Amino acid sequence: MARTRPLQPHVFWVFTDQWLFVRRVLVESPRWLLSHGHTARAEKVLRKIALGNGKHYPAHVSLKRPVSTKQATLLDVYGNALLLRWTLIQVYSWCVNSTVYYGLTLAAGDLVSSLYMGIALSGVIEIPAVVFTLYLVKRFGRRLPLCLCMLLGGTSCIAIYLIPVTVSRRLLIQNVCALFGKLCISSSFATIYIHSAELFPTSVRNAGMGIVSVGARLGGTLSPFIVLLGDHFYDMHFVIFGLLAFTAGLLNLLLPETLNKPTLESIEDLNAGFAKARGKELLAIDPSSVHHLQKLIEDEEAEDQMEEDVLWDTNSMERAKLMPAHV
């Protein structure tokens, strides 16, 4: 009898080749490199990007080393009250998106006679959801489409339970509601990846995305058990999916919009941006604070001008010393 060769070495080499290929093609984020103090590597990546785009990287342009190169950790996420609030909302939102998304997929056969047809329709409906999302996030931003899709998806799931038995073509209406809910939750799931990545500062983005991904995995673990409730309580799993999506949509209204906004580099930038926003609120509420804020701005500009004058005088004196004396 012929002996079969083990597949483990072949599988290992396949994944190794893919890893080496990806490593050669992809580059590290220059923003991340700069925030961690790797200025030379960041400039190298930018030159490579410029070359790939057929552009010329200016020789006189050089990146400045960040003032603070302190390595941010997971504890920094929990140490900032504002960032912690954003993170907790996103963890819940990711958990709900995963729970409803996989739950509706598992329950696709509950409202149709054919399980295969239900799964097929549940998969096909994701295609227009992704196309729809591409337009929404560019036109209306991230927060509004995310909240709207979760609210509409939650309402559709609850409507499945609330449709009276006496309604004609009740099963057809329930199927339409289920498919619309799957479309909305697919769209919100695609949007939340963009929104969360843009909310976290660069220094803690990896840690933050890891935290919210844990919430998504937890939601995917809970979804089969929620679907099983439908075997004991008629359509109760759709009610739970709807309530979860609706509450998550409301909580996301507390998060800021990130479209056309500068990406935060560090937690210090987050604190500065929040203080600036609070200053704008104060300016809108208390008109007497206008003069005070203008005075602060004028003082800062005067200090900057004074520093530039001193630096210019110092450079002039140094150049004068280096010039040869005329006899």
Mean pLDDT of all residues in 234-249: 93
pLDDT (0 to 100) of residue 292: 44
Query: Residue 297, exposed/middle/buried by CB under 10 A (0-12, 13-18, 19+)?
Result: exposed
Range of lowest pLDDT (19-28, 125-134, 178-187, 264-273): 19-28
Write down the pTM of the prediction.
0.71
The more confident residue out of 187 and 13 is 187
- For residues 67-98, b (16+ Cβ closer than 10 Å) or e, as one string? eeeeebeeebbeebeebeebbebbbbbbbbbb
Mean pLDDT of all residues in 50-55: 84
Mean pLDDT of all residues in 117-123: 87
Grade residue 23 by pLDDT with cuts at 50, 70 and 90.
low
Grade residue 215 by pLDDT with cuts at 50, 70 and 90.
very high
pLDDT in tens, 242-282: 999 999 999 999 999 999 888 887 787 777 765 555 444 33
Alpha carbon distance 203, 264 (integer Å):
9
Grade residue 290 by pLDDT with cuts at 50, 70 and 90.
very low
Handedness of CA 10, 13, 15, 18 (dihedral sign): negative
